[in-house]
């Protein structure tokens, strides 16, 4: 499950409440039917927060063994290290790991207790492309074991790739709770892009019902609720186009639309 929202929406606060790190000012939070501060609930959770720290002088293996010892039924050390893709660095001190390797170490520590639920708060921030790819595969491998994952991220393509369920919040309010496909289907407009043989300007689309129009040299990108009618009109005008693409909105466009609608309701 991905928890999405703009900066300040309440994502990290929500996770902090669920972990018992903050106390709710109203309402209640339950984890496995228990108070989040209950040790019986905590012993079934793993967490990887935005900011973490470990002793630099301990090795990867020593840290994973240490964190596993905090749980009643820990995951075998080798398995946790393997899930994080850190076998070659198992004897390396934490202080000598690269940024991406350090993030994967935090993943290994989060799964060391073999938790039933794991919380990831912006886990790939600062990762390079390769480290991010390996990390996302580690999350997929972990979820295949029947574990529940709650993920917050600003990289919406990650949420689209990983999540079966997406919750969007804005200003602490629930905006959407559905599958990625359902959320994307809420945006009626289709994304249209093409290359025109001659340069077009915004004036060429002044009488056409389009939105989010961008023109980069000969390449045009826009959104339209009636792409067929739009294209018929362009052909009628004699516009010669190539590399035409008409696709549904992606998760980013749906996210922007949902949060924009929420903002309008608040201002009204």
Can you tell me whether residue 143 is helix, strand or coil? helix
2-183 maps to CATH 3.40.50.300: yes
> With 80 as the cut, is the pLDDT of residue 94 above it?
yes
Most confident segment among 62-71, 165-174, 186-195, 256-265: 62-71
Confidence tier at 188 by pLDDT (50, 70, 90)? low
How confident is the prediction for the chain on average, in pLDDT? Answer: 87
Structure tokens belonging to residue 138: 């580690």
Are 126 and 157 contacting, i.e. CB atoms less than 8 angstroms apart?
A: no
Q: 51, exposed or middle or buried, with CB in 10 Å at 0-12, 13-18, 19+?
A: exposed
Mean pLDDT, residues 167-190: 82
Confidence tier at 263 by pLDDT (50, 70, 90)? low
Which stretches of 32-90 are assigned E, i.e. beta strand?
45-48
* % pLDDT > 70, the chain: 95
Structure tokens belonging to residue 50: 């935005």
Confidence tier at 160 by pLDDT (50, 70, 90)? confident
pLDDT digits (tens, 9 = 90+) for 96-132: 998 888 888 999 999 999 999 999 988 887 777 887 8
188-248 maps to CATH 3.10.20: no
Count the neighbouring beta carbons within 10 Å of the beta carbon of residue 174: 11
Confidence tier at 196 by pLDDT (50, 70, 90)? very high
pLDDT given for residue 87 in this prediction:
94
pLDDT digits (tens, 9 = 90+) for 13-66: 888 999 999 998 889 999 999 999 999 999 999 998 877 789 999 999 999 999
Could you tell me which residues are beta bridge partners of residue 168?
4, 176
Task: Tell me phi and psi for residue 82, to 5 degrees.
Answer: -65, -40
Q: What angle do CA 177, 180, 183 make, to 5 degrees?
A: 60
* % pLDDT > 90, the chain: 48
Mean pLDDT, residues 147-163: 87
Map out the domains of the chain as residue ranges: 2-183, 188-248
CA nearest neighbour of 108 among 154, 66, 56: 66
Q: What angle do CA 161, 163, 167 make, to 5 degrees?
A: 130
Q: 35, exposed or middle or buried, with CB in 10 Å at 0-12, 13-18, 19+?
A: middle
Higher pLDDT, 161 or 75: 75
CA nearest neighbour of 2 among 154, 151, 122: 151
Length of the chain: 268
Task: Tell me phi and psi for residue 233, to 5 degrees.
Answer: -65, -40
* This prediction's pTM: 0.72
> With 70 as the cut, is the pLDDT of residue 260 above it?
no
| CB-side neighbour CA atoms (13 Å) of 180 | 17
Are 100 and 107 contacting, i.e. CB atoms less than 8 angstroms apart?
A: no
pLDDT digits (tens, 9 = 90+) for 219-248: 999 988 889 999 999 999 999 999 999 987
What region, left, alpha or beta, does residue 23 occupy, with left being phi > 0 and alpha being psi -120 to 50 degrees? beta
């Amino acid at each position: 499950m991905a928890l999405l929202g703009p900066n300040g929406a309440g994502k990290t606060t929500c996770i902090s409440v669920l972990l018992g790190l903050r106390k709710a000012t109203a309402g209640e939070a339950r984890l496995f039917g228990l108070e989040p501060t209950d040790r019986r609930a905590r012993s079934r959770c793993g967490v990887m927060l935005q900011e973490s720290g470990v002793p630099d002088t301990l090795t990867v293996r020593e840290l994973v063994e240490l964190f596993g010892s905090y749980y009643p039924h820990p995951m075998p050390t080798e398995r946790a290290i393997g899930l994080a893709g850190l076998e070659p660095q198992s004897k390396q001190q934490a202080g000598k790991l690269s940024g991406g390797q350090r993030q994967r170490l935090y993943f290994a520590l989060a799964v060391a207790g073999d938790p039933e639920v794991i919380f990831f708060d912006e886990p790939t921030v600062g990762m390079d492309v390769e480290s991010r790819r390996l990390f996302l595969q580690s999350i997929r491998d972990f979820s295949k074991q029947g574990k529940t994952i709650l993920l917050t991220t600003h990289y919406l393509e990650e949420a689209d790739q990983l999540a079966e369920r997406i919750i969007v919040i804005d200003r602490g309010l629930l905006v959407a709770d559905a599958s990625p496909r359902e959320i994307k289907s809420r945006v009626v407009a289709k994304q249209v892009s093409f290359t025109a043989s001659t340069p077009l300007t915004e004036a060429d689309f002044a009488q056409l019902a389009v939105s989010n129009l961008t023109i980069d040299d000969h390449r045009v990108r826009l959104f339209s609720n009636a792409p067929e009618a739009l294209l018929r009109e362009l052909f009628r005008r004699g516009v010669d186009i190539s590399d035409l693409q008409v696709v549904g909105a992606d998760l980013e466009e749906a996210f922007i639309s949902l949060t924009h609608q929420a903002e309008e309701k608040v201002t009204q």
